[in-house]
Amino acid sequence: MRPAHDIDVENELPEDIAAAADESRWISRWDGPWHTRPSLRILLLLIVFCVPKLLMETAIDASQRAAGFHSITHISSDLRSRLTQDTLISILAGLRGVVADYYWRDVTESFMREDWSRMRSSIQLTTMLQPNSPIFWGMGGWHMAYNVAIAKRNDKREPSLARRIAIERYWVEEGEKLMRNGLEINPESVDLHIQLAQLHLQRLKDPVTAAKLYEQASLLPGAQPFNSRLPGFILRRAGREQEALDYWRRLWARHRTHTDKDMDWPRILREIRALESKLNVPIAERIRE
């Protein structure tokens, strides 16, 4: 017989008593202060470390969106399919510009092959990677509204002229949409305003919108003086004489002096006088030099 102090309690006790002892020991783990309980400690650690991380990631995502960078999770599936693992690693490594240049080169190659779908996705990828570069938005929209649209209009493989015209219009509107999106991210870009104005004037035959865009461009830093004259000429040639006169008057009132040779004020004054006379503006309401 073994000494009493050598008795194996778990082997010697009946099974039901041993089970009760196990349960008692398990329950005892949860006795004591709450911060000593294992599961609660783990939960506390998750809260301490994960919540700040989530808040930080949310703030970073918001700042990226404010800067015009689009989250990859919010782009279309066909674009995501073209973002390979190596591409994503390059983006995360800070090589956005290099990757954007690669896709922009593919724009030209796709155009030469007349692979319009791939060309458009390469343009979208480039603008996603470099949203603050107006040149990609402007050139991308130009490719769609001019090059692709005209190619589609002249594509004799489509026998229906009406359908070719509809397809041409579709690509013009896609180009306009791309430029407009770029302008939302780059509202201070004079060049993008002008490119969009030209698209409305030449491709959409919308002189009123074109004039508004030229006027907006003329008010931005870096605009050339001739940008200020274009809205008046566009509106007059479109037969919108009252709107043209209203614009010339705004332009005249915007400047305290009218001696800047680059603005060509004598020509502007001649335009004002001609429209005032044609529209029978009362003498008392006419512009005074």
Give the torsion through C-alpha atoms of 43, 46, 51, 54, to 10 deg: -140
Q: Looking at residue 284, what DSSP letter applies?
A: G
Q: Do residues 106 and 118 lie in contact, with contact meaning Cβ atoms separated by under 8 Å?
A: yes
Q: Which CATH number fits domain 79-205: 3.10.580.10, 3.40.50.720, 3.30.70.660, 1.25.40.10?
A: 1.25.40.10
CA distance to 9, 82, 106, 122, 194, per residue, from 144 (Å): 85, 20, 15, 12, 17
pLDDT digits (tens, 9 = 90+) for 161-217: 999 999 999 999 999 999 999 999 999 999 999 999 999 999 999 999 999 999 999
pLDDT at 199: 98
pLDDT digits (tens, 9 = 90+) for 73-85: 444 445 444 555 4
pLDDT digits (tens, 9 = 90+) for 108-130: 999 999 999 999 999 998 998 88
Instruction: Please count the other Cβ atoms lying within 10 Å of the Cβ belonging to residue 185.
Output: 19
Give the torsion through C-alpha atoms of 179, 263, 257, 282, to 10 deg: -90
Sign of CA dihedral 140, 143, 146, 149: negative
